[in-house]
Structure 1
Amino acid sequence: MASTENTAPKLSEDNPIKVLFDMASYWATIWGFIALCLWLEHQVLKRLDIESGGLQVAILLVSTPAIFLATVTCIQKTPKARLILERARYVVVLVVAALLGAYLHARHDSDSYESHLRDGAMLACAKIAACKESATQYANTR
């Protein structure tokens, strides 16, 4: 069975892309876990009807680091938990990439040159009967 004692990325590796990916995936996992803790704690505080903003911030500032440190300690003591974390960080990278792609897609400016060209081509094609018919046939065959 493979040893899971050393799961941290080795900075002395020859492949800088792998080192960069390892460091990015670890940091994304850490910050993703912190964000998940904050969100869950906020939901609990809302259900407990603690509406005071200052009180919520104080509770979150104390409880989030405590939960994070307790979880890290548990993960360090349990080899199976470290193995699960090692595999989960790839999922975290995929989620971060999907969220970044969704954000960039939502923020895409439709005033770009390519967008204007596409709109102009669609308007021109709509006015030319043969072009419209060809585009309709092409779309129906796909």
Structure 2
Amino acid sequence: MIIRTLTHDFSVADQITQDDLPTLISSGFKSVICNRPDAEGEAHLGQIEVEAALTEAGIEFRYLPVNGAAITELDVAEQAALVNELPKPLLAYCRTGTRCTKLWALDPARTDSADQRIASAAAAGINIEDLRGRLG
């Protein structure tokens, strides 16, 4: 698991494995959002297993599966609502962290410019240049 910090209270990561759970639990995150559908791609640790481990450790967990190739305005609104409601710091994860970053960048409540969002993502090692037209 590679954790990439986008803001002081929001980070993204690639797929969490069973071996990553102790590190994630001790990392200080108060909330985790899973944006990867359980049935997507190769076999991976499902949201039920992750949720059980995190909940037992007192970390809030939400499952919001999103198709990374077709992020909708509803996906963005649902993610933004979760980010607003959940305790911080917060980690969102998917297969690579890119779709979580795109959801973060597309949040209409963000006040930074498209250039700043793209630069923040790039500084974290994620390219979201393909979103420039949607970032306003």
TM-score range, shorter chain: under 0.3
Structure with bigger RCO (C-alpha 8 Å, 6+ apart): 2
Highest Rg: 1 or 2?
1
In terms of fraction of residues, the more helix-rich structure is 1
What TM-score do the two structures reach when normalised by structure 2?
A: 0.23
